[in-house]
A and B are shown apart, each in its own frame.
Chain A
Amino acid sequence: MSTEKHHISTYMSHGVVLTILLALTALSVGMAELHFGAFSVAVALLVASVKGTTVLTYFMHLKYESMFTRIMVGGVFVIYVLVIVLLFFDYLFR
């Protein structure tokens, strides 16, 4: 194991990531106050997705993982999205 290389993130970088996440949280709360109507759902989920991706990339270290791990995570989300799409093929066209 000593031969394997590990990327060590700095404390600073974790702080920066947290700041971004907190800013995004403030953004989504602020947007919700503005009441965009149907549009607000999309905005809220979009912001949540950006936050989620940030957590996955930096806190969960995906940026420094092997290509395979990244493909695996991406593939899992693709499968989930396809399930949603197929499910809504039923609910939207009933």
Chain B
Amino acid sequence: MAEIKNIAPSEHHDYQGSKMGMWLFIFTELFLFGGLFLVYAVFRTQYSADFHKAAEETNTFIGTLNTVVLLISSMTVAMSITAIQSNQKGRAIRLLLVTLVLASVFMVNKYFEWGHKFELKLYPGSEVLTNLPKGELLFFGLYFMMTGLHAIHVLVGMILLTVTIFRIKSGHIHTGNFSMIENSGLYWHLVDLIWIFLFPMMYLIT
């Protein structure tokens, strides 16, 4: 039986295992947002006219722009994994930097979008908002909570990608060991995936 290898975690990095762990973590994130989607679904059926009206307040242009930005950033992350796998370190880093820039563009847009809402006094607890019809009030509650939570995830994703860049530079991530970049890539795609559903719910269903 000498040929049977003992798999001690510290000695051997389990590529499949760490990817599976990342998927499981993604599931918990999906269900975290899933709870909010349930709330949206319930109130949407109860107040469809109000939701319809409130969704017209949101800026479809910025929403679409941000969707495009996130989709492109998803692609650049996916490409950076291809780059690492084909041993193009510099290109991988550049692609990740592009991703970070796109993520920042997303956040800046978000900042102006929220800022505009605040100018209109449409923030939770404000008098204007509280006097709106119930459904519109709930819509804006969901809008702030869902896009806010999503923005936090964008920030976390940016941190992860930054760490990844440094680890590529330091040589920890390379053609033979790329589970870190793959996992932070998966996380970034999750951010994109959630946005894909948030986008029609918040900007399009008018």
Contact = CB atoms under 8 A, between A and B. Distances in A.
Direct contact of A and B (CB under 8 A): yes
Interface of A: 1-2, 4, 6, 8-11, 14-15, 17-18, 21-22, 25, 28-29, 31-32, 35, 38, 40-41, 44-45, 47-48, 51-52, 55-56, 58-61, 66, 69, 72-73, 76, 80, 83-84, 87-88, 91-92
10 contacts: A1-B15, A8-B85, A9-B81, A10-B82, A17-B78, A18-B74, A25-B64, A40-B205, A69-B23, A80-B30
B196 A91 contact: no
Which of under 10, 10 to 19, 20 to 34, or 35 or more describes the interface residues of B? 35 or more
B189 interface: yes
A87 B38 CA distance: 8
B60 interface: yes
Contact of B42 (A15, A21, A61, A87): A87
Contacts of B75: 14-15, 17-18, 59
Determine chain A's interface SS by DSSP, over half rule.
helix
Nearest to A49: B197
Nearest to B48: A38
A23 to B, nearest CB: 11
Contacts of A38: 48
Contacts, number: 111
Contact of B34 (A22, A25, A80): A80
B94 interface: no
B97 interface: no
B204 A29 contact: yes
Contacts of B186: 60
